[in-house]
A and B are shown apart, each in its own frame.
Chain A
Amino acid sequence: MRISAVVPIYNEAESLRPLTAELTQALESMGVPYEILFVDDCSTDGSLRIMLELRKQNPHVRIVRFRRNFGQTAALAAGFDHARGEIVATLDGDLQNDPADIPALVAELEKGFDIVAGWRKVREDAFLLRRLPSIVANKLIALYTGVPIHDTGCTLKVFRAKVVRSMALYSDQHRFLPVMYASTGARVTEKVVNHRARRFGHSKYGLSRATRVLLDLLTIKLIAQFSQRPLHYFGLLALTFFVFAAFFGFVGLIGVEGAAKGDLSPLVSINEWELPTVSIVIVLITLVVFFVLLGLLGELAVKASGMHRRGTLDRILNELHA
């Protein structure tokens, strides 16, 4: 099996037939063995019945049905776990992604990449509620993690199955997949894809995700870059607070006026700034100690789990790109 198209489905009864037709057309045109893997996130609108009909008509269709609703990340994780293809293409079930883009994305992947992310350069969504938050979030992600991906939220992506199975996928991480893998050494690129207006159903997202995305960002940075050495992450935090502590300590000793003028003469005398700044210094030093200890705790957790996942990913990547 060469290609698996993984499609998470949650109440997409109307889109399913056109989607399958388009997918079949796109994948047939590539002339390689393929499958279409629907992951039914416990739809309640009869999507399963339609999928079963489609499966009867089309032997390439497989269906994984969840016992109850687990969300999109879980659906993608199940898709990755059960896909049989060497290449996994993921796309939304709502027809907003164009299956006709898959051959081009796969061609890009075959140039020697591990992940090709779709980039919806022209989006057919409301500006204020959908596009603006997405632009801001993507800018933040790119800035903070140093991985310049324009559109992490686009589900249309193509992966090498071996690479994507080397890390567990949980929580809401699916949107950060390219970022996570890029920072572990996988070759990640992006390609402009078509984006279409929603034809059926309604969006399952809202704006309430803002704080979650911010918190997830902290997590992704920690996991992607420091999961092997949590102490480094917490050490950096501790160092930051130590710098603050040193600054306040300095101010406390000579006073703000003195510090501004570079006048060290108040060093020996008690000044009005001493009391508040000393308490701030004490508190900051507590934080420094606290973060170092948390970092050690993190190291313990990593060691106790016997996790050498980064190592496996390295090996896979070496084999692929040897």
Chain B
Amino acid sequence: MTTTEHTTQGLTESGGDASHDLVPEELGLAERAAGEWLDVTIIVPVQSPEAEVREVARAIGGELDREGRSWEIIFVFDGVEGRALEEVQLLRAERGSQVKSIVFKSPFGESVCLTAAFERASGRYVLTSPQYVQIDPLEVGPMLAALDGGNGRPGADFVIPWRSPRVDPVLNRAQSVFFNWVIRQIIRGQFHDLNCYFRAMKREVLEDISIYGDMYRFLPVMAFRQGFTVVEVKVRHLKEWGKAGFFGLGVYLRRFLDIMGVMFLTKFTLKPLRFFGTLGGIFAAVGSLICMHMAVQKYFYDGQIAGRPMLLLGVLLIVLGVQVIGFGLVGEIIIFSQAKNLKEYRIERIYE
């Protein structure tokens, strides 16, 4: 099942009183008049009935009020109910349409939460927050200021926090530092803290990048690879939910595969043969070298090559290389047959 199906089938609007709760779907973004834009939409995926919804809304909302920015907050209940949902109902009674909620009947993950909430967001900036007050709310100001730009500098498109100093257990911190170091080596970006979800971005970023699966974590990486400017802001870390200990091999493996997927998709989507062709070419070249070596052995030194596993390895490498190139060719066919739907460029503005 695809992401969009999840969001349409799996969500109900809480409270039943949808008229003032959600932005009408048919009101497309382009038609929305300038006055109807809000400054900031806060999106909070809720994954525990004990989530500090009221505290999050008060901390971030209060800070935004002080900055004089208009805001709304969207809570996405990812298959949870309970105390947090009741709190949100109360909040809605107090604040009215400033507080919105989306309820999934079963958990779909943060990526789906973000996508569903973004479809209903009317802020020019989107701020995602974990379900508890993880970062000092005073940091909201500097993060949004980085999006604004100023002093002749264009604003960033994406601002991610760098928790420093961190307050979670040393063991978790070490693993996190290691993970971020590996990613820095792979993508040659300068991200020190991808695991913190207190992020601010312009809405263009989410309009441009479709996220699914575990991509939520790698949203800054995707944005960076697609040419958006991503900046880091050092923030004060207040607390961390979650238990101390090793994350486990499965977690590492999943994250590694994710980052490979991100790399592949951002670089080679439209040119699969560049990837498969290079990979297959390397295999085939190594195989050919081995086979040539065997031939020299056979003819010039009269060696016995028949039973040698080296010969088998060479032949198999060539075959593997050719097969990988074949995959790339099928990839090209798939992309070509879909190319009408894939627009490679995004236009900022047309000056007639």
Contact = CB atoms under 8 A, between A and B. Distances in A.
A67 B333 contact: no
Contacts of A51: 351
B348 to A, nearest CB: 4
Interface stretch (B54-62, B97-105, B307-315): B307-315
Interface stretch (A118-126, A128-136, A143-151, A295-303): A295-303
B305 interface: yes
Most chain A CB within a 10 A radius of its CB, from B227, B273, B281, B336:
B336
Contacts of B327: 294
B175 interface: no
B91 interface: no
Interface stretch (B32-40, B140-148, B248-256, B338-346): B338-346
A170 B322 contact: no
A170 B269 CA distance: 11
Interface in A18-65: 42, 51-52, 55, 62-65
Contacts of A304: 337
A78 B345 contact: yes
A311 to B, nearest CB: 13
B350 interface: yes
Given A65-B350, A171-B270, A275-B307, A301 B330 contact: yes
Contacts of A309: 340
**Band of interface residues on A:** 35 or more
Nearest to A75: B345
B344 A73 contact: yes
A70 B326 contact: no
Interface of B: 204, 208, 226-228, 270-271, 273-274, 277-278, 281, 305-307, 311-312, 315-316, 319, 322-323, 325-330, 332-340, 342, 344-352
A31 B279 CA distance: 53
A12 to B, nearest CB: 17
Contacts of A62: 350-352
Contacts of A286: 319
Contacts, number: 131
Contacts of B325: 218
A63 B351 contact: yes
B344 A77 contact: yes
Interface string A66-97: 11111001110110001000000000000000
Given A219-B271, A307-B340, 5 more contacts: A65-B348, A65-B351, A67-B347, A279-B312, A301-B334
Nearest to B343: A77
Ranked 10 nearest A-B pairs via Cβ: A168-B339, A305-B337, A68-B227, A74-B345, A63-B351, A67-B348, A215-B277, A275-B306, A298-B333, A301-B334
A302 B337 contact: yes
B29 to A, nearest CB: 15
Secondary structure type dominating chain B contacts:
helix
B351 A291 contact: no
Given A65-B347, A283-B316, A294-B330, A168 B340 contact: yes
27 contacts: A52-B351, A55-B351, A62-B352, A65-B348, A65-B349, A65-B351, A67-B346, A67-B347, A68-B226, A68-B228, A170-B339, A171-B271, A171-B335, A215-B278, A222-B333, A223-B336, A230-B333, A276-B311, A279-B312, A294-B326, A298-B330, A298-B333, A298-B334, A301-B333, A301-B334, A301-B337, A307-B337
Contacts of A219: 271, 273, 329, 332
Nearest to B272: A219
Given A65-B350, A68-B346, A305-B337, A297 B319 contact: no
Nearest to B346: A67
A172 interface: yes
A309 B333 CA distance: 13
Nearest to B348: A67
B272 to A, nearest CB: 9
A227 interface: yes
A3 B346 CA distance: 24
Contacts of A66: 345-348
B204 A222 contact: no
A21 to B, nearest CB: 19
A212 B319 contact: no
Contacts of A52: 351
Q: Which has the most chain B C-beta neighbours within 10 Å: A73, A170, A227?
A: A170
Given A65-B351, A68-B227, A301-B337, A77 B345 contact: yes
A287 interface: yes
B291 to A, nearest CB: 10
Contact of B329 (A65, A75, A218, A279): A218
A215 B274 contact: yes
A302 B333 contact: yes
